[in-house]
A and B are shown apart, each in its own frame.
Chain A
Amino acid sequence: MEPVLWLLFSAGGVVSALFLPVLVFLFALAVPLGWIEEPGRDRLLGLLGHPLTALVLLGICVLSLLHWAQRFRYTLFDGLRLKAHERPINVGVYALALLGSAAAAVVLWQAVAARSG
């Protein structure tokens, strides 16, 4: 199991390092502070609701969350010395990652449905 989790952690590290800074810069700084023109709701929804965009964003969200799960798991094990509670921590962090992935899937699905509807 560990090799698979590590591959997902590793992939999550790559995609989050490549894409999240760009997305955060665009939508948390550049657009709200008016550095670039606001794309407008319809244009943004059109982009977000395209199945390919939704799929790519879902991939980024899921892999980033799985990256977080592995990293946070080891922070708890080694940083807070909680390795004695390995099983509940493993279940907890990956359950949270899956929950977050499901939430991302729901939001993206709504965008896809809104665009096509």
Chain B
Amino acid sequence: MADTITLEVARYRPDRETEPTVEAFEVPLRRDWAVLDGLNHVKDNLDGSLSYRWSCRMGICGSCGMTVNGEPRLTCATFLVDYAPGPVRVEPLANFPVIRDLVVDIGDFMRKLPEVSPWIVRGEGTSVEEGEYLQTPEQLADYSQFSMCINCMLCYSACPVYGLDPEFVGPAAIALAQRYNLDSRDEGADVRMDLLIHPEGIWGCTFVGECTRACPKGVDPAGAIQRYKLTAALQSLKSFVLPRGPR
């Protein structure tokens, strides 16, 4: 195994360049080094001006999503040895505006996320004295897969529909809506449905399935969207057949 590997890093410094460029750096190739370690080596030893987001280094915070050799990946969980002998191309997440180097503007996602009320909605809360909202293991299993989402936005980067139509609510937000809809303690399904049955909601998805493939946490956003489509379609049929009936 060679001692070093080349990182081809996308650079964009709006004060110096009008178009993104690529800069190559030689970094140590170590068995336990992730792409993020390579970037940290560049920042610490070769070029301190390199900008990128990261935090936990253990696939929990969802900050270090970037495009590695054309694929959206968490750079803390993507190892350099898997790309030996290199080079490894590191670019910002696709489908997002680039602010600087590998840092993208996540404002669009941050605006969309609270719109689906990704929290437990209760009509009338119970008092603390009445105790916890109990849940069986089966009820937990209904939604636990979708609760693994870390908001890393790799699914948005992988989604060709979001790339073509940024108005699309997108995979993670819909999967998180479904996470709470499937939670036995939640009563907010109607609130979320009003937003998600919009053409830019679930109906925008054409079931390409790249979101599920890109997810580093094994969430299945494409599956969540298809399940939600069935719920919404049956709901629409019901309201068509019983226009004055309860929702």
Contact = CB atoms under 8 A, between A and B. Distances in A.
A and B bind: yes
B233 A78 contact: no
B56 interface: no
B232 A3 contact: yes
A3 B206 contact: no
Contacts of A78: 160-161, 164, 206
Nearest to B226: A10
Given A74-B206, A78-B206, A3 B160 contact: no
Which residue, of B164, B206, B232, has the highest number of chain A Cβ atoms within 10 A? Answer: B206
Classify the interface of chain A: helix, strand, loop or mixed: helix
Contact of A4 (B161, B164, B197, B233): B233
Given A78-B206, A83-B165, 13 more contacts: A2-B199, A3-B197, A3-B229, A3-B237, A4-B233, A4-B236, A4-B237, A6-B203, A6-B233, A10-B233, A77-B206, A78-B160, A81-B164
Contacts of A4: 233, 236-237
Contacts of A81: 164
B161 A3 contact: no
B2 interface: no
Nearest to B230: A10
A83 B237 CA distance: 27
A7 interface: yes
B203 A2 contact: yes
14 contacts: A2-B203, A3-B203, A3-B229, A3-B232, A3-B233, A3-B235, A6-B203, A6-B229, A6-B233, A7-B233, A74-B206, A78-B161, A78-B206, A83-B164
